[in-house]
Amino acid sequence: MGNRVSTGIKVVDNLLGGGFERGTSILIRSSPFVDATPIAQEWLFNRLREGDRGFYLVNNRPPEIVSGEMESYGWPIEEYRESGALTFIDAYSGFIGMESSEDLNVKDPLKFNEVNGVLLETLKRMGKDSIFIFDSLNIFLDQFGIKGVSAITEWNKYSLVRDACSIYIYTEWGYPKEIKSRLERAFDVIIDLKALKRIIASEVLTVSKIDRKPVPKRRYVPFKYSKPGGFRVYIPKILVTGPYHAGKTTIVHKISSRAVSVQRMGTTIALDFGHIDYEGFSIDLFGTIGQPRFDPILDILGGEAIGVLLVIDSTKPEEFPRAMEMMRKAGVHGLPYVVIANKQDLPGALSAEEIRKRMRIPKDIPVIEAIATEGKNLMKALDLLLKKLVEEEEKFGNSS
């Protein structure tokens, strides 16, 4: 095995075993209506910043639109175009009968020999530290079918010889079985973006083939795209619950990059809402109301939550039963959770182990001693909850 190179997207690197190899051909395959383009563009931009040379073939929109798309995600590429580090291959203008302003262009994309000739010319310009994007493979397959797949197999040989990375963007529409099977065999790596409704999100990323071998146990990672920002592991809703005055509002505001609370006279009367982009995750936090009179709406607030930060006042063991009762009433008992033992700076605060014993908390559930007003150990609690959520998704993926 050669040395692996980072894509600049941490989760993708992890799924690929540390990154991609030079000379590798990669298919980014998506379910219909799941967009695969931004992940390829982010990958390209990250490599351009590291000094790689980029080649981007586009056949379904003008190159200027691609530039605008990447700019909207925070990936400006004009300086790379001007310096020659990024070259567009325009296979779109010919479709609409217009002259292209790009040096490399396909005058008639409906003629196989012209497309093939320009691709071969492009591949000859590529060398080590080059990355090639083909966007989109569907347009090409619609025109040339099996003949197109054969051409891709040959192009990938050029990538291997020249130690360059080729990435093809492809949506899995209703192509004949022969095209699908031959396409799978043509690539070293296959990354799948699927619509898969599960506990975290409806769109997930997985890798089904690495180093020309099928992946026996797939991991499924929920994701979304942020503007700006790009690829994010997506955690749509973490519930922050616990008894009255345990510190939920403080915790939501301390953890979040932006947060709002609906309060009256300093007490939450509706909910706390926060959001944070953290360690590649995009997370929404919902804090519940603590007073018993609001219990009838706990199940509404707990709906669609996929994990829980259970907040308790370490100095008030008499409220521990209430904390577990709130989990049950919110309908989240059984979801992954972490206990935040808040107010550890106050006299009489119980230790994590004493709290575990009194609340009969299982050994696999973390109990974190915290001081919310100082932000102490709050991110540690969030880290542990995210770890548990990822483990849950991996169990599901491995059983699929």
Are 14 and 88 found together in one domain? yes
Question: pLDDT for 246-267, tens place per residue?
Answer: 999 999 999 998 777 654 444 4
HEC-encoded secondary structure of 213-227: EECCCCCCEEEEEEC
Across 324-346, average pLDDT: 89
The verdict on 258 and 382 lying in the same domain is yes
- Whether 298 and 209 share a structural domain: no
Same domain? For 267 and 365 the reply is yes
pLDDT value at position 199? 46
Please give the average per-residue pLDDT across 13-30, as a whole number: 95
For position 140, what pLDDT does the model report?
96
Average pLDDT, the chain: 88
> Is 185 found in the same domain as 265?
no
Residue 186 has pLDDT above 90, yes or no: yes
Categorize the per-residue pLDDT at 269 as very low, low, confident or very high, splitting at 50, 70 and 90: very low
How far from 64 is each of 7, 69, 159, 376, CA to CA, in Å?
24, 9, 26, 47
Q: Give me the pLDDT at residue 299, please.
A: 67
CATH number at residue 125: 3.40.50.300
| 159 and 66 co-located in one domain | yes
Q: Are residues 139 and 270 in the same domain?
A: no
Share of the chain above pLDDT 90, in %: 68
Q: Which of 158-167, 230-239, 259-268 has the lowest mean pLDDT?
A: 259-268
Give how many domains the chain has, as a whole number. Answer: 2
pLDDT value, residue 1: 44
The residue range of the domain holding 243 is 235-399
Domain boundary (228, 252, 274) is at: 228
- In 3D space, the residue among 219, 262, 202, 150 whose CA is nearest the CA of residue 392 turns out to be 219
For 35-62, what is the mean pLDDT?
A: 97
Whether 214 and 239 map to the same domain: the answer is: no
- What is the per-residue pLDDT across 274-325, written as a single tens digit (0 to 9) for each? 988 887 677 889 888 767 665 665 666 666 678 899 999 999 999 999 999 8
Average pLDDT of the residues in 37-61: 97
